[in-house]
Structure 1
Amino acid sequence: MYKRNQVEWALWHAVAGDGAIGVEPVIQFVHTVKRLIDIDRKMEIDTTSREDWERRFAFLDGTPQGRGGENMYSAEAIVSLWIGIQLLAAGHPQTETIQFLRRLRPLLDKATGSLLREHEATIEEALRQKASVGERLRLMRYLAPDQRLYLVAETVSKDGVLSERTRKPGSRLSNLCAGREQLVEYIETYVSRSKRFAVVEIADAVLAIAYLLPQAEPVRRGRPG
């Protein structure tokens, strides 16, 4: 689990790439991270709701800490936050983005965990050696095209995550498409030619975040987490 300042540092380096070297996260970026987390918290959860997205947070695991406490963030929650930043930058509304990610979290967590287990040894070796592999991880240029994982949705909202009810007969697809073939199949199956859709490649980002987080120094809490 990671402190808020570690989250901000790792996400800033993942987003800014070479522009982040030797530079602390810019205030606008820190405010974006804070805004997403704050809105997620203010939406609260309802553990008795029939809607699964209302029973979990998008960016927090467990109960938020009150005044005097400090929230800690899992790698899975941090990946969700990175996706939230990408969707906001693409112009998607904040509330709908958070609802979408709340509903997506179980699927996203499973995929994130699988990627981290598969590439754990590579990341640990890169952290020890600080060699070219580390640079490729940091810049999200490590994976081959057929290893990529695409998040795709016809709409970024609570209704944008496929379920047994909304999945078309005979389709086994989800919002996470492994490789280009599944991505194309999803678009052809679920996206009307007259509509836009959202797509974000996440596998390289997961590995970049996992590589960056251990390099972020934790600091004592000086503001709400």
Structure 2
Amino acid sequence: MWLLRTPGVYRAQEDSELLIASLGRERLREGDEVLDLGTGTGVVALAASGTGARVTAIDVSRRALATAWINGALNGRHIHVLQGDLLEPVRGRRFDLIASNPPYVPAAGTALPSHGPARAWDAGPDGRALLDRICRTAPGFLAPGGVLLLVHSSLCGVGVSLRALRRAALRTEVVARRRIPFGPVMSARADWFEERGLVAPGVRHEELVVIRGVRPE
């Protein structure tokens, strides 16, 4: 697919690839309602729209939404884009599938960036500032039998996400894993990760996981 990469918009990387691969194993049908939460360049939304599903893409960044819309047009696919804070723009709707690759990199300080490239990855001291909110609210936006696909790093507490989604009555499992070396952002924070006990001394890799949660029919 053609993919425009606008400065300041999160570039699709291994986590996006892993999420798209997991999405490809779902049995989406033409007309299914799909939500790409935190769309960035729109690459996950584009993958979903190739199935014939009706795709809505949300991002807090207007630049990201413009990029996603343009990428949809470049590839001949319609993506409905909405700007806002996580699921607020679609309150009252239900989806057959929600896919999300949210910011999840642990960062010093509790205040999340409101602009700049770090907005796409910084997520508070434990990396869960967005993950906890998604785990708490996304299950309520699933149709019966609907699926949530959520990707994040092992540094952020995979078990925490699984337990939170189970408390929300979803059947959950880890459906994909990939071990990768730290990139530039993670490498620059490696010593701080060690100090906080997020990684063992000398560890310079993370495991990406995709969690799949299903709402009972």
Q: TM-score, normalised by structure 1?
A: 0.27
Q: TM-score, normalised by structure 2?
A: 0.28
Give the number of the structure whose residues are more often helix, by fraction: 1
Between the two structures, name the one with larger relative contact order (CA 8 Å, sep ≥ 6).
1
Pair member with larger Rg:
1
